[in-house]
Structure 1
């Protein structure tokens, strides 16, 4: 790689770092491309457009930034999962790659808080859908969950699995913020196993009411 290419990659990463932090703190729609450029110390206010083309592509780059490594780790865990694995072991394949990624982030980190912000922004809905439409391992995970919970109907199970993703994201965003504030208790490993235990209880809970209200999730899971 030439010197210019190296500098270009560093500038791109700096813009991604700045955008992730500012989006996490202020929300996606409240932060301009100019503000992102200024946050990295450049006077070139068109830097975001130069490196990413447009706003959607910046958000897409942020969403996909660590996606492949997380999917790779999930696939490793799935490959090692025994045929008679229990529900907690299956859920661990979903949760552990996510919390391991967050634990490995330089501090302060903004990843969970950014994702929590972006999932509530209507303008990012199409980017979210296209970035996560092939989230490797999720189909196999669902099949393994279904095998463990044959007494739960498929629509209910899919809805609960979606809730698990949103629950995990919210808790991790809160814990990430607490780390920065110095008020956290425990560590990312304890967060992960709390979510595994809570997820197992929720997925296996008795069904006591009609499932007529259910519809396919409108927002893809980000973890």
Structure 2
């Protein structure tokens, strides 16, 4: 498409991410995105992305290569004595490091949180992350510390952890935008690691029959 086309795509994605994060997915039209991007061509989304779902997919995958590279680096560093916290850190730290590296204001966490909570685009989100979901493989490294916890419970807790992490990061990103934040992205990350380790390893006190209704988890 060339440099000019690539730049136009980036400007449109910047505008879409901000508007989606601020107003929600379904409340933002393609026309509003084009206007926020400073173009009079209200068909710009169709021209550069084909359709709205492809725009959303492009936004979801926008920084995925960097995220996966950092995650692979951390996984490669896991030793034979890796703890559950070490395993969770392989998923959490690349995410918070990426958020910390973004220019201010950033909209990434709030955009992804909107995606997770809007049924009309949830399928796009899930399909974009399915091929990258190796959390089950990572858990095999520490399966001994999770003895007695049924697989269905682990998967349901992992889904809760994903929702919790996105929600907390979205809130912290808002606080940064408003200038009211305390601590750092790294402190947010280690809070999530500790909370996740506690959640996944907590004893099971009652059958979780309702978990059949919980979808396959897609963590950050």
- Same fold by TM-score greater than 0.5: yes
Q: Cα–Cα, structure 1 residues 52 and 138, in superposed 2: closer, same or farther, change >3 Å? A: same
Structure 1 position 71 matched with structure 2 position 68: yes
d(CA) in 2 for partners of 1:141 and 1:210?
A: 25
How far residue 216 of structure 1 moved from its aligned partner, in angstroms, is: 6.4
Number of equivalent positions: 220
Structure 1 position 141 matched with structure 2 position 138: yes
Q: Which runs of 5+ in 2 are unaligned?
A: none
Give structure 1 regions of 4+ aligned residues with deviation exceeding 6 angstroms: none
Instruction: Verify the 8 A CA contact 1:164 1:199 in the aligned structure 2.
Output: yes
Tell me the secondary structure at the aligned position of residue 134 of structure 1. helix
Superposition map of 1:1-223 within 5 A: 5-215=2-212, 217-218=214-215, 220-223=217-220
CA-to-aligned-CA distance 1:125-175 (integer Å, 9 cap, x gap)? 221222112015323223234343123111111111111111100000000
d(CA) in 2 for partners of 1:120 and 1:197?
A: 24
Q: Cα–Cα, structure 1 residues 220 and 44, in superposed 2: closer, same or farther, change >3 Å? A: farther
CA-to-aligned-CA distance 1:86-128 (integer Å, 9 cap, x gap)? 1111111111011011011111000000011111112112212
Q: Cα–Cα, structure 1 residues 145 and 50, in superposed 2: closer, same or farther, change >3 Å? A: farther
Structure-1-length-normalised TM-score? 0.94
